Amino acid sequence: MVQALYLHVPFCPSVCPYCDFHKMLRHEGLVARYLDRLEEEIHENAALYPGPLRTVYLGGGTPSHLRDEELTRLLGAIDAAWVRHGREETTLEADPLTFDEDRLTLFAKLGVDRLSLGLQSAQDGTLRYLGRLHDGAQGMDAVRMALRSPMRVNVDVMTSMEGQDLEQDLRTVAESGARHVSVYGLTIEANTPFGRRGYRVDEDLDAAAFELTSTVLARYGLDRYEVSNFAAPGEESRHNQAYWRGDHYLGLGPSASAYLPAHGPFGARIKQRPLKGWLAGAAPEVDVLDVDSYILERLLTGLRTREGVDIAALSARTGTTLESSAGRWLDDTTRHGLLSLAADKLTATATGLQRLDAVMRAFVGSRRLVGTTVS
Ligand code: SF4
């Protein structure tokens, strides 16, 4: 059953020079056409996958940049297609400058019960470097305002920037009372203004940020439950757990990704086209998973989490054991303290989590499954 929906809203108040997501500035005609097409897509998919949905996630882009009447229409279309009653979580990504108390009241009325705020930093210099429109005081005012609402709140913090006092940022956010923090290192993609200017991320800063983040946030009762996510007990994102556990989910809107029970026993990844093609109804890209790519994906996502991967369940699902297909890798990584295997749960240790890319490269290099291709 498909019980999670991701919906992509590509419009932003401004375009940040490091951003690699599918996003653009809004104009009225375009938003109206986007909403028309999205409503069609919602109804088509509700007929195929009637739910009920456990979680809905409006990401972007900046979904809170939609006007009141646009958000009302969008969330109304979701509720008309999938009954809202019984839904466990509806998250809206929001920029600090796009809401006030009245808008928060509207969000809650529309069924949003979790806000994910793109703060990135509470320091003016770091925010200027990132090209964000808000300053530190405005960002933290928005965080506190959101925390006074009945909604659960996540705060995004970015790391690995020269001149940033990361400990100060983390403490400021944790002391505000936030019970969920997502922490991402700045990455520089070649197709962004930062990439074209030749910016680089300092790898030492990045490595230091990984440890500092867990140390500081743990003091406030916020534990790393996924490589980039920290929460107080019970405050974890329910929607993202669908990705990490390998559950199926819908992805609607331009450039959205989905994982659906289609095209074979291991399902298929579906990637919608960017806005122009999506509006024109172009067919999405379809990547059918075979047993090898399924195992690889379960390890890639599951090992990012504290929960890890249930390798007995993985064997039952795939008809092959990790011991037989990648026994050497399993031995090496556990012997070197990168992974830990207990009671059929394979998890990354703190060191392994920090070196997960290398651990997974070693997996791809070592396994003996036939026909594997990894790009
Ligand atoms: S607000 Fe977010 S999605 Fe929009 S341009 Fe900035 S980083 Fe990208």
Here the contacts of 135-140 (C-beta below 8 Å, separation 24 or greater) are 138/96, 138/97, 139/96, 140/172, 140/176
Model pLDDT for residues 294-349, shown as the tens digit of each residue: 999 999 999 999 999 999 999 999 998 988 888 889 999 999 999 999 999 999 99
Lowest mean pLDDT among 78-82, 144-148, 295-299, 363-367: 363-367
Q: 64 C-alpha to center of ligand 1: Å? A: 12
62 touches ligand 1 (CB under 6 Å): yes
Q: Is 259 exposed, middle or buried (0-12, 13-18, 19+ CB in 10 A)?
A: buried
Separation of alpha carbons 95 and 142, rounded Å: 9
pLDDT band at 367 (very low <50, low <70, confident <90, very high): low
Residues 275, 279, 280, CA angle at the centre, nearest 5°? 120
For residue 150, the 8-state DSSP code is S
133 touches ligand 1 (CB under 6 Å): no
* Phi (first) and psi of residue 153, to 5 degrees: -135, 130
Separation of alpha carbons 263 and 254, rounded Å: 22
Average pLDDT over residues 287-293: 94
Q: Which atom of ligand 1 is nearest to the CA of 95?
A: 1
Among protein residues, the one whose CA lies closest to atom 3 of ligand 1? 61
Model pLDDT for residues 7-32, shown as the tens digit of each residue: 999 999 999 999 999 999 998 899 99
Q: Packing angle between helix 356-366 and helix 322-335, nearest 10 degrees?
A: 140
Residues 6+ apart with CB under 8 A from 329: 362, 363, 366, 367
153 touches ligand 1 (CB under 6 Å): no
255 touches ligand 1 (CB under 6 Å): no
Q: From edge to edge, which strands make up the β-sheet containing 285-288?
A: 257-260, 268-271, 285-288
Rounded percentage of the chain residues whose pLDDT exceeds 70: 98
Q: Which atom of ligand 1 is nearest to the CA of 14?
A: 5
61 touches ligand 1 (CB under 6 Å): yes
For residue 249, the 8-state DSSP code is B
If one residue of 19, 119, 126, 128 were mutated to test the ligand 1 pocket, choosing by the most ligand atoms within 8 A of its CB, it would be 19
Question: Higher-confidence residue: 165 or 325?
Answer: 165
Average pLDDT over residues 263-280: 95
HEC states along 299-364? HHHHCCECCCEEHHHHHHHHCCCHHHHHHHHHHHHHHCCCEEEECCEEEECHHHHHCHHHHHHHHH
